[in-house]
């Protein structure tokens, strides 16, 4: 029992030291998004649902986005695969499935090695039903009097 307690104590102390080191690293990368909400406005069903969140690494070490996850299957984020150098900008692409009609508000959770931790982004808007061109049945197949002569 004493060995277990001693082992757990060392593990806890080690984790605490690593956590404190990460918090106090003055050179750590930092991620700063131009916007944390993108408003699609009102768009038509089937319209292009792709948008881009632009961000900058304001830290002093390369920024690595380890994951980006949408709040549902209708929201698909695509983070950059390469590290973002200090002072450089990057893009996180988000695609919303515009086949779904009605208002939407979705979130994207971004995890990285940045000192400012996990970031929450949002997309919102309204998808309206695509308007179809309708022809009246009485005009179909009819010719005008001028065309008949």
Give, for all 149 residues of the chain, the pLDDT tens digit. 556 444 445 545 544 444 444 457 899 999 999 999 999 999 999 999 999 999 999 999 999 999 999 999 999 999 999 999 999 999 999 999 999 999 999 999 999 999 998 999 999 999 999 876 455 555 455 544 444 54
Q: How far apart are CA 100 and CA 96, in angstroms?
A: 9
At the topology level of CATH, where does 27-128 sit?
Immunoglobulin-like (2.60.40)
pTM score, two decimals? 0.72
Q: What pLDDT, on the 0 to 100 scale, is given for residue 24?
A: 74
Pairing type for strands 37-44 and 119-128 reads: parallel
Domain boundaries, the chain: 27-128
Pairing type for strands 50-57 and 89-96 reads: antiparallel
Q: What pLDDT, on the 0 to 100 scale, is given for residue 2?
A: 57
Q: Which residues of 103-118 are buried (b: 16+ CB within 10 A; e: fewer)?
A: ebebbbebebbbbeee
């Amino acid at each position: 029992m004493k060995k277990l307690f001693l082992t757990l104590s060392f593990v806890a102390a080690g984790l605490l030291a690593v956590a404190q080191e990460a918090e106090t690293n003055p050179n750590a990368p930092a991620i700063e998004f131009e916007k944390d909400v993108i408003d699609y406005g009102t768009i038509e069903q089937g319209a292009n649902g792709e948008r881009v969140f632009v961000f900058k690494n304001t830290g002093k070490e390369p920024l690595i986005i380890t994951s980006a996850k949408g709040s549902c299957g209708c929201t698909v984020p695509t983070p950059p695969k390469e590290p973002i150098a200090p002072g450089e900008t990057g893009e996180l692409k988000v695609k919303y499935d515009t086949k779904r009609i009605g208002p939407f508000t979705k979130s994207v959770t971004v995890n990285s090695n940045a000192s400012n931790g996990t970031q929450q982004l949002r997309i919102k808007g309204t998808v309206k039903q695509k308007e179809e061109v309708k022809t009246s049945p009485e005009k179909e197949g009819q010719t005008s009097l001028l065309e008949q002569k």
